[in-house]
Structure 1
C-alpha cells in the first residue's frame, strides 16, 4: 500500500504536470482575448464571432505546435512517476 507522503507527492507532481501542459494554450488564449477585446473596444464592434474564431484558431495552432512537447511530458510523467508506483505496489 502506498504511503500518504508518496501519494501526495505523486498528486503534486501530477498537478504540476497539468499546469505545465496547459500553460502554452492558456497564455495564448489570454493574449488573443486581450488583443481582440482591445480591438473591439477601439472600434466599437461587438460581434461575438469576432472573439471566438481568432481565439479558437490561435489555440488550435498552439496545440498543434506543442503536441510533441505535451506528449513527451505526459509519457515521462507516467514512466517516471505512475508506472513505478503501480509496479512497486
Structure 2
C-alpha cells in the first residue's frame, strides 16, 4: 500500500465518520440549547432535566438515522477497504 492510497482511504474514513455523527451531534446540541434556555428562564437547576431529554433525543435520532449510518459504512467497506485487504 503506497502513501497516497493510505491517505485517501483515511480521508474517506474520516469523512464518513463526520457524516454519520453529524445528525446525532446536531440534535444533541439543539436539545442542550433548548433545555438550557428552559432552565435559565424558569430558574430550575435540576441535573436530570438536562440529561433525560438529551438522551431521548439522541436515542431517537440514532434510531431514525441507523439505516443511513449502516449503508454508509457498508458502502465504504465494499468499495474501499475490502478491495485493499483482498488485493494485498
TM-score by length of 2: 0.98
Runs of 5+ in structure 2 lacking a partner?
Answer: none
Unaligned runs of 5+ in 1: none
Residue 23 of structure 1 corresponds to which residue in structure 2? Answer: 22
**What secondary structure does 1:46 align onto?**
coil
Q: Does 1:13 align with 2:37?
A: no
1:51 aligned to 2:34?
no
Q: Secondary structure at the match of 1:70?
A: helix
Aligned with 2:24: secondary structure? helix
Q: CA deviation at 1:40?
A: 0.4
Deviation at 1:38, TM superposition (A): 0.4
TM-score by length of 1: 0.97
SS at match of 1:50: helix
Give the CA deviation at 1:30.
0.2
Runs (4 or more) in structure 1 with deviation over 3 Å come to none
Aligned residue pairs total 88
Q: Aligned ranges for residues 57-68 of structure 1 at < 5 Å?
A: 57-68=56-67
